[in-house]
Chains A and B, each alone.
Chain A
C-alpha cells in the first residue's frame, strides 16, 4: 500500500484488523484514545448524563473489540462503524427500545474485502468529512441536530446538501461484489 498522505482512516481500519486477528491491546488502546472521547461527546449531546455516557462509551468500545470480525472496510469507515455501534447503544440506553437490524450479509472465505475498494471507500469518507466542514453553518447545525439531537422522525427533512451519491455507489459496488462472491 503506497498511500501515505491520506492514510489516517486507512490506519484505523488496520488497527481494527489487528484487534480482530491478534487481539492486539496496543491497537485497541490507540483506537480507544481517538474514539472513546468522541463517542462520549456524541452520547452526551444525545441527552445522556456524564455518568451514563461514560458507562455507555466503555460498552461501545468493548463492542468494537468483540465485533471486530464484523467490520467491513469496503462498506464503512471505522468512524462510521463506531458511529452505528454508539447509535445502537443510544437507542438501547436512552430510548429503551429494541433495535431491529437488517439481516447480515454472510461472509464467505472469498469475501475478503478488495483492497482497491477499501481504499476508495475510505477516501470517499474523508471527502465527505471535508464537504461537511464546508457546509454553511445553518445547514451543518441542522444535520447535527438530526443526528445528535432530538429531531423526531417527522421533522427530519433528509436534505443534507451533501454529495452522498458517490459514497452510496461505492458501497453499492462492494455489496454487489459480496453478493457475487457468495454465489
Chain B
C-alpha cells in the first residue's frame, strides 16, 4: 500500500476524469490518472461521480439489445471453467511504504529501485514506459535545483510528482500533485533544492525542446 497524501493541492481536471471514466484516454494518460487517484481520495470520489453517469446511461432500458437464447447458460459455463479469482496478495507489507502506487509498479516492474534510467541532459534522467502509441509516458528524475528541459507544448501534458517537488509559475508541486498543461502554458519547472524530484509525465504530442543540442539528442533518445 502506498499511503495517502492529504496535502494534494493540484488535482486532475473534470475532462481527464470523464475521459478516464468513459474509457477514452490514451493508455499513457490512463496510467497518470490511475496513479494520481491511488494517492488522492478527492479525485477518486470525483471519478466515482463520472462513473455514476456511465452507470445511469447503461441502466436505461430503451435500447437494450437481446442476448443469445443460451447466453446465461454459456456464461455460467464460463464461470465454472474459469480459475477462481485469485486472492490478491499485495507485493509489499502495509507498513513498507512504496514510492510508486500499484498501477505504476505494474508498468515499471517494481518500485523506484527497479527503474532503468537513461541520462538525458543536465543530470536529468528518464525512463520511457511502454504504452499504446497515441501518447507517451515517462518517469523523469530531476536533481534538486535543476530545471526540467525547457519545452513548449503541443496537445496535453500531465506531470505527476511522486517524490521531491518542483516549482513553476503555477506554484509548488509535491508528492501527489499533478500539473495539467496545454498549448497555452509555457513553463519551466525547477526541482526544489535538496532531494531529487521524481515525476511521471505523459504527453500526447512529441515534446519540442528548444535549442539545437536537445533537438539532436531528441532524435537519439526518442523523446
Contacts and interface: CB of A to CB of B under 8 A. Distances in A.
Given A53-B65, A101-B34, A125 B56 contact: yes
A105 B31 CA distance: 17
B131 A97 contact: yes
B54 interface: yes
Interface in A83-134: 83-84, 86-88, 90-91, 95-104, 106, 124-125, 128-129, 132-133
A10 B72 CA distance: 23
B76 A25 contact: yes
Contacts of B52: 76-77, 80, 124-125, 128, 164, 167
A80 B65 contact: no
Interface stretch (B10-18, B116-124, B145-153): B10-18
Contact of B53 (A29, A157, A164): A164
B209 interface: no
Contacts of A129: 56, 59-60
B58 interface: yes
Contact of B15 (A65, A84, A157): A157
Given A102-B103, A103-B38, A143 B59 contact: no
B29 interface: yes
Interface string A25-43: 1001100110111111110
A64 B178 CA distance: 33
A151 interface: yes
Contacts of B59: 38, 79, 129
Main secondary structure of the interface of B (DSSP, over half): helix
B46 interface: yes
B64 A37 contact: yes
B221 interface: no
Given A32-B75, A156-B24, A79 B55 contact: yes
Given A125-B52, A158-B18, A171-B48, A58 B58 contact: no
Given A77-B55, A103-B2, A154-B156, A146 B103 contact: no
A62 B65 contact: no
Interface in B61-104: 61, 63-68, 71-72, 74-76, 78-79, 82, 84-85, 88, 90, 94, 101-104
B75 A152 contact: no
Q: Could you say which interface size class chain B belongs to?
A: 35 or more
A41 to B, nearest CB: 4
B66 A37 contact: yes
Contacts of A25: 76
Interface string B1-22: 1101000000001111111011
Interface string B25-58: 1110111011101100110111111111111111
- Majority-rule SS of A interface residues: helix
Interface in B142-167: 155-156
Given A147-B54, A156-B22, A54 B67 contact: yes
A41 B181 CA distance: 36
A45 B2 CA distance: 37
Contacts of A11: none
Contact of B71 (A36, A82, A96, A132): A36
A24 interface: no
A97 B155 contact: no
Given A152-B24, A168-B45, A179-B4, A158 B13 contact: yes
- Counting from the closest, the 6 A-B pairs by CB-CB distance are A80-B55, A37-B64, A158-B14, A79-B55, A103-B38, A158-B15
7 contacts: A38-B60, A57-B71, A58-B71, A98-B132, A125-B52, A132-B57, A171-B49
Given A36-B71, A129-B56, 10 more contacts: A37-B64, A69-B85, A81-B55, A102-B37, A102-B38, A132-B53, A133-B60, A146-B24, A154-B155, A154-B204
